Chain A
Amino acid sequence: EDQVTQSPEALRLQEGESSSLNCSYTVSGLRGLFWYRQDPGKGPEFLFTLYSAGEEKEKERLKATLTKKESFLHITAPKPEDSATYLCAVLGIQGAQKLVFGQGTRLTINP
């Protein structure tokens, strides 16, 4: 069974303090690893898809990387508006069209 574990559950940073969020996964053949941002009371907002180990993608202050066992979401010099819950999900070969999500990391950036 495909599984995703995110750590830490919650992270509090000062504005400008860079850090990384971790997503560890086990999957029966990875078709894609996804990062989403979710604000309170809202739906998940797509950020990145990574398909193979070694791949990296960037968007503003966010950079996602992928290895065969985990993915990192690096946040550089974050701002208060980056505060949100960040969700990681995998799509495996046996999963058809089913994304398997982790529980998320709740990120708070203090001004």
Chain B
Amino acid sequence: NAGVMQNPRHLVRRRGQEARLRCSPMKGHSHVYWYRQLPEEGLKFMVYLQKENIIDESGMPKERFSAEFPKEGPSILRIQQVVRGDSAAYFCASSRPNRAITEAFFGQGTRLTVV
């Protein structure tokens, strides 16, 4: 039973480029959560999605960031026109519909470096 899969594991982008981070939840999980871990800081909530719905995006920066979780395929976190301050580790977690975040499992993360 594969865990939460995130890819790529490492991503380097130049300032102004777009970054696309993918998250495939565990089998049977339809809830996805994205968190960001800035250097020397704790994990911060970004967005909570269910299939085809954004439930809570209160932690997402207002500009340049977007997330989706289509009916088919992985969840995507998209960062447009990246800046140095976007360099961080981005973690995805998934859970079953009746368990939510109390029984969520995290992926290994995508480490984004903006140069």
Contacts and interface: CB of A to CB of B under 8 A. Distances in A.
A74 B61 CA distance: 37
Given A49-B102, A97-B48, A43 B91 contact: yes
Given A87-B43, A97-B48, A45 B106 contact: yes
B108 A42 contact: yes
A98 B45 contact: yes
Given A43-B109, A44-B91, A46-B105, A98 B43 contact: no
Interface residues of B, number: 27
A73 interface: no
A24 interface: no
Interface stretch (B13-21, B52-60, B64-72, B73-81): B52-60
Nearest to B105: A46
Given A91-B101, A97-B55, A98-B58, A43 B106 contact: yes
B42 interface: yes
Interface string A8-20: 0000000000000
A26 B43 CA distance: 17
Interface string B73-115: 0000000000000000001000000001110111111010000
Contacts, number: 59
B68 to A, nearest CB: 17
Interface of A: 4, 31-32, 36, 41-46, 49, 87, 89, 91, 96-104
Lowest 8 A-B CB distances belong to which pairs?
Answer: A43-B106, A101-B42, A101-B43, A98-B45, A97-B101, A103-B42, A44-B106, A43-B108
Given A41-B111, A42-B109, 13 more contacts: A43-B91, A43-B107, A43-B109, A44-B43, A87-B42, A87-B43, A97-B33, A97-B48, A97-B100, A98-B56, A99-B43, A99-B101, A101-B42
Interface of B: 4, 6, 31, 33, 35, 40-45, 48, 55-56, 58-59, 91, 100-102, 104-109, 111
